[in-house]
Structure 1
């Protein structure tokens, strides 16, 4: 086997088959009637244009396309707009202002699911203890969506990483969402 490889026979045989493939493709392309070839070329070009338009449309409206196709219930948290939107079968159920994490303690981005729900929960972290935090729904480790009775600065990042809602809105979301509901933080 080594002598075959050293002699270059394998390299030459590979070139042989590549050459044969090129000859066969050339022969078959000549045998196709020119009208059929141009028709298939036009069809290929139209298909490519359709794909390009679809990709461009999905890039420019990617969020809207994803939302329109989503089935079931899910929660969208938009950190740039400081807004939470509850979706059901591609339609907005309701929307509210939030307070996400400060720059020093940012809210984690990603796609999660609600892991657990508590009517009231004491939350602790470095430098704070918040007893009886209402309508708490954990979605990733210590990150949660919950009501905030200790401030009224919704629309501004002020939390330690959680998604704060006005208590009334947190109650509404808590009643609407169940364990396993998708949470998209972007």
Structure 2
């Protein structure tokens, strides 16, 4: 009897979601022939955006109310390129578009990758303007916020761009929800951290 009961049991693996917070209190158009996955989503590689240093007008598809697909799990979103497989770049530049909740990353004036972000909520807005990466910390922990275990909230692949404001891996819902930092999906945070350097410009626009 015991053997039959044990044989009937099964273990269903689960998934653990770690929600990252902020450190301090204080679909772009793509070529039609771009391959799609089983869910109909296209790769985020973005052609023909802007030259280095200028804010890019957002295509109609990314404007509020545009025909953007609803939030999906990270598993169905194509990953960015492998950082080590890209050639070296002389210039790197990151644009953050708050209204569309998207980033666009450029190398030598050419768009290389784009993805979702979650910026500061209305009560904790992310500052607009032109900034630069001032520090990087792959294993940063928050100095102001704790997680559900009452421990400093992890902020992997963190890059400081203005005072207490950082770019880092974290939970990316459909909309602005952070305390001012800019959250990125794991794959995007890892990619940007590997490619960008201290001193690289970051432009934050509405």
Structure-1-length-normalised TM-score: 0.59
Q: Deviations over 1:5-52 (max 9, x none)?
A: xxxxxxxxxxxxxxxxxxxxxxxxxxxxxxxxxxxxxxxxxxxxxxxx
Q: In the alignment, is residue 143 of structure 1 matched against residue 161 of structure 2?
A: no
Indicate if the aligned counterparts of 2:91 and 2:108 stay in contact, CA closer than 8 A.
yes
- Detail structure 1 runs of 4+ shifted over 3 Å in the superposition: none
Structure 1: gaps spanning 5 or more residues: 1-64
Match of 1:115 among 130, 134, 142: 134
Q: Match of 1:179?
A: 198
Match of 1:67 among 34, 43, 50: 50
| Alignment partners' CA distance in 2, 1:69 and 1:99 | 23
Aligned length: 117
Q: Match of 1:88?
A: 107
Indicate if the aligned counterparts of 2:118 and 2:172 stay in contact, CA closer than 8 A.
no
The two structures, once aligned, show a CA RMSD in angstroms of: 2.0
Query: Which one has the largest radius of gyration?
Result: 1
| Alignment partners' CA distance in 2, 1:183 and 1:69 | 11
| Alignment partners' CA distance in 1, 2:119 and 2:104 | 14
- Higher relative contact order (CA closer than 8 Å, sequence separation 6+): 2
Indicate if the aligned counterparts of 2:52 and 2:106 stay in contact, CA closer than 8 A.
no
